[in-house]
Each structure stands twice: as structure tokens, then as C-alpha cells.
Structure 1
């Protein structure tokens, strides 16, 4: 079976955290109403150790996230031995990345990056905004637990983005949406209908909001800013496209 080739750092990461590197286009064999899955197509029960995690670079982990999303887009199912991984993960965790995602139930973060229990930290909040609690969680993931990449993940058709555009006011949602308003201001040069009914405008604000959150992380977390300056971590963004499953990786 064809194997994906990685450099040494990637190979270590793949062998200890992520699923086996099978051809992503291969599908499980079907027999009537049954599906036969070979053992090497299941995400294994191995995890990064502290020693192996320390040898990884942010660029290596970022490349793996990109490759894993490619596998997801090509319909390589995320098949897990969940019970075994739960038992193994109970002894400790050393994930390679932390993903700050929207609350949206249509964005299955671990699946999007073809991963399982113990592979990555996931923080969720509507509109993938940052506040004190989110920043503390990201700092824990990176400074305390050694994650190498912070990924801010927005997505198409985001209800929080549309609500912010529409100036929705409702309970504590009002304060949350206020944190998205600067992203709307950043799209002031957008040419076209600036309403939530215009998919192109919603997408422009979505991308702007991802970049705005990245700016806020750097501005409001001295810990993460210093780690990035020392190249100990990489802070990146992406937009998840629901129709295809593809993450459009954004740089800033």
C-alpha cells in the first residue's frame, strides 16, 4: 500500500499521534451490508510522548494539519479505536496543536484534521473569538502542555458572523457579537451588498474575523506572543468550507 513520505519529525509525529499513512483514496472493502476495515486503517492507540513532542517544530505540525485535512477532503474516513485510545490517553497528553473553533456543530474539528482522542486540544466558542478564558486555555495548551501550533478556525455560513452583521442583541450574545464587530470594520472596502444575505460578504467578514482573533491573541497574550517570536509556536488561521470539508489556510 502506498505510503506518504514525511521528514523525520513528521514521521515521528505520524507514528505516535496520528493514523497510519495509507493511500487516502482507499476505501474500506464492502461486502453486502457489511464493511470490512483493516487494522492499519484505524487511528492507532499511540500518542506523543513529552520527549517526542519536544523534538517537533511548529512548521512540522502545521504541515501535518494540512496533510490531514487533505485526507479528510479525499474521504479518508476517521476510524478510531476509541476505547483503546481512552485507556492509553488517561496516563497523560502531549498534543501537537490547539484549535480554536466556532461552536457550530457542523464543524467536527478532530475529523476535519483526521485525528482522534489525544491528538489535539480543541477550544470552542461561537464566532471563534478570543477572551480571557480562551487565551488562558491557549496558553495552557502551548506553554504548559507543549502544543506547537495555535489554529484559529472559522467556517462558512457562520451564524455568529451573520448575527454580528445584522446587529443582533440578545442577552449575553450581545457582548460576544461585539467582539466580532472589529472584523466587520476591517471589511469596510468590500464592494457589494454588505448584509448577511450576501454569501461573499459573510465570507469576507469570516476571514477578517479569523485574522482579527489572531491579532487579539498576539496583543492580549504576552506568553503566546513571546513563544511565537522565539519560534516555539506558530499562530495560524483557516476557514472551513462546509461543502467540501477543505480548510483554506490563511496566513498573516
Structure 2
């Protein structure tokens, strides 16, 4: 396995590739992303341990979405079982991805614990249970501080786990080493990731702006209200599709990666 240093402009191509791949198989990728959200949400409902188990499964499910993008990019239709590909590769690979998931769960819970100490757990409850941010929450200084504290703490977590699930799954890297290699890869390609992030911010803003313009033209605010969720899901599906390309271009395998088995 070799780390690649890519030009900064590659970040814009990663985002475009995510959009392009999504439109190759939009129904399949949307369906798999919906399965991802529903599966994690259902696991989170298990009493006492559900929230932790849901976090443990996030890296494995992320590999599934990346594998789906890889299949779609190759012109193949990603099947539903693709989402669980990281858990279907034998005892040792499954154990490795679940250990990585345990690391992720601990890291996120520590970040949530810090935010809970600031606002009494209101932001953590919102993060775990879902729901919308109310005006009262926005006006609450402790809630805002907790939100920013979690965001700042989650940033290094995101960097460490960006490539880690894929490194564990496709390259057989140990969970601890995958976190190190992922961090190094992101920082060595920081210019590309900066432009990549800007592209997704711009696309998210553009999608929201389109809804606002349509609502203004039609004089119906409900269009923006009801259209927000489908647009958000579509953009999120495109984003998760783009993760495969950030990994593919950041590392070169010693041998050709095996195809996804459905």
C-alpha cells in the first residue's frame, strides 16, 4: 500500500465524481443510503446499548456505501447486501472493522460527554435522538457552546476515521494503524480536502437556494419545507458516494482490490 499525494484540484474532482456516480445508479444509491440511516436508527432504539452499537456499526456501514459507489462507478448495480459487505468477509476482517467501530464509538461518546458537561446534555440528546434545532436552543448560550465544542472535537475524529474503515476492509490494515494512516493521508492532501469541502458546502448552499427561489416564485413556503428533506438525503447520498474516490486516489494497493461480492 502506497500513499499518494494528489494536486489540490483533485478535491473538486472527488466531489464531481460523487455526483456523477450517484446519477449512474440514483435509485440504488438512494436506497442504500436510506437503508444505512434506517438500520443505524433501528439499532439505536435497542434499550441501554443501542446508541453505542449504532456508533460501532458506522464504519462498517460506511464501507458498504463506498463499495456501492465503487460498483456504480464500474457500471454495476449495487445490491442491498453491498451495505453489509464489511461484515461478510470472514471472522478476522469482521472483527477488525468492529474493533474500529468500537474506537469510533468511544471517541464520539467522549466528545458528546464534553458537550454534555457544558449544556447538561441537551445537544447530545439532540445528536443521538434526532429532531430539529429550535429557536430557543439557538438563543441558549450553553447549547451553542456545547455544539461548537462537539464540532471542534469531532473534527480530528473525522480526520482519523476518514480512510480508516476502507483501509481496514480493502488493505487489511489493523484498526490502530488505519487511524494513523488516515490522519497522515488527509494532512498530506490537505489542499485537495480543503477544495473538496468547499465544493460540498457550495453544493449544499446551492440546493437550499434553489428551494428558496422556487418557494419565492410560487409563493408557497411549504415547498421549501417539504423539499428540504429529500434534497438533504440526495446531497448526503452524493457525498457518501464521493468518499470512495477520496480513498481510491489517496492510496495505491500492492495488488488489485477484489470486487464486491453481493
> If the length of structure 1 is used for normalisation, what is the TM-score?
0.26
The answer to which structure has the higher strand fraction is 1
Q: Which fold has the larger relative contact order, with Cα–Cα distance below 8 Å and residues 6 or more apart in sequence?
A: 2
The answer to which structure has the higher helix fraction is 2
> If the length of structure 2 is used for normalisation, what is the TM-score?
0.25
